[in-house]
Amino acid sequence: MKSTMANERQKAILQAVIDEFIESAAPVASSRIVHKYHFPYSSATVRNDFLKLDAEGYLEQPHTSAGRVPTDKGYRFYADAIFDSGKRHARKQKMLAELARASEFEEEEFIRTASRMIAGLSHGVACAGFPKEELFYKSGFAEALDEPEFDNSTTRKNFAELVDDIDNFLAEMVDDESFSFPRIFIGNENPIELAREYSVMISSFATPFHKEAVIGIIGPKRMDYQKNMLLLQELQTLW
């Protein structure tokens, strides 16, 4: 994060706000942060830091709430902070181990299984495929629409248009860039214009067929970046 963030306290407060918003999808109040995360600061101190984080563009205050929500810049800080995390989740490891045994599958069944498994673990839409063969499968659309971000018909329609074309977008991006390390595109960072209200995580990965595949996870900007980054990193280690 840029040096404009004054101290470690503000970094900790920002991370707590984003953790809480990812979990609750509701604006986060200073009192909630102090009590739930056991910070040794008063609510007044946290509110003062909220104002500083607002001014630096990491948080914003919805008109209808006294709480705060992250901005794209806030999410970018959060995503960058989790790249080097060494945490592992046993459930993810077990399910990915099942995918690792999929070498007996045909290519189409393998890609279909990979997209379904990643969608189920990430709670987003997953699109997996072999771009050079134009072979893609998408999973998780119905489950993604359960998120509160998609509570109106216009938002659902826009997201559906993105999902309809995401395989073409991924194929074009893989032609131009390397995704040997998982990458995160948040909001307006997205080279995909239709995705600029959402976040997209993209990674290439080896397969049992001695060729590389690509996978994208698409969801709200409130997606669980840490969980999904660990998921993509684990996927890259299977073959």
From first to last of its 239 residues, what are the pLDDT tens digits of the chain?
A: 444 455 889 999 999 999 999 999 999 999 999 999 998 989 999 999 999 999 999 999 987 777 999 999 999 999 988 765 555 555 556 666 667 676 567 899 999 999 999 999 999 999 999 999 999 999 999 999 999 999 999 999 999 999 999 999 999 999 888 899 999 999 999 999 999 999 999 999 999 898 999 999 999 999 999 999 988 988 888 88
pLDDT value, residue 154: 92
Q: How far apart are CA 172 and CA 150, in angstroms?
A: 27
User: In one letter, which amino acid is 150?
Assistant: F
Q: How far apart are CA 1 and CA 52, in angstroms?
A: 14
DSSP the chain: --TTS--HHHHHHHHHHHHHHHHH-SPBPHHHHHHHTT-SS-HHHHHHHHHHHHHTTSEE--TT-SSBEE-HHHHHHHHHHTTT-----HHHHHHHHHHHTGGGS-HHHHHHHHHHHHHHHHTSEEEEEEGGGTEEEEE-HHHHTTSGGG-SHHHHHHHHHHHHHHHHHHHHHHHHS--SS-EEEEGGG-SSGGGTTEEEEEEEEE-TTSSEEEEEEEEETTS-HHHHHHHHHHHTT--
Q: How far apart are CA 129 and CA 199, in angstroms?
A: 19
User: What's the pTM?
Assistant: 0.88
pLDDT value, residue 60: 96
pLDDT value, residue 147: 93
pLDDT value, residue 66: 76
User: Domains in the chain and their CATH numbers?
Assistant: 8-81 (1.10.10.10), 90-235 (3.30.450.40)
Q: How far apart are CA 69 and CA 55, in angstroms?
A: 13
Residues 6+ apart with CB under 8 A from 7: none
Token digits for 88?
A: 């592992």
Place of tokens 């590389």: 212
Token digits for 128?
A: 């997996």
